[in-house]
Amino acid sequence: METVLNKTLKERVFHSILFEVVANVLIALMLAAILAVPVTQSAVLAALSAVTAMLWNVIFNRLFDAVQIRMGFRRSLPVRILHAVLFEAGLLAVLIPVTAWWFTVSLLKAFMLQIALVAFFLPYTVVFNYVYDLFRFHWVCRSRGTER
Report the residue count for the chain: 148
The predicted model scores a pTM of: 0.71
Q: Is residue 83 a contact partner of residue 75, using CB atoms and an 8 Å limit? A: yes
- pLDDT band (50, 70, 90) for residue 104: very high
Q: Where are the domains of the chain?
A: 4-144
Rounded distance between C-alpha atoms, residue 46 and residue 4, angstroms:
28
pLDDT tops 80 at residue 142 = no
136 — pLDDT class (breaks 50, 70, 90): confident
pLDDT by residue (tens digit) across 51-88? 898 899 889 989 999 999 999 998 888 998 899 889 98
The C-alpha atoms of residue 148 and residue 135 are separated, in whole angstroms, by 15
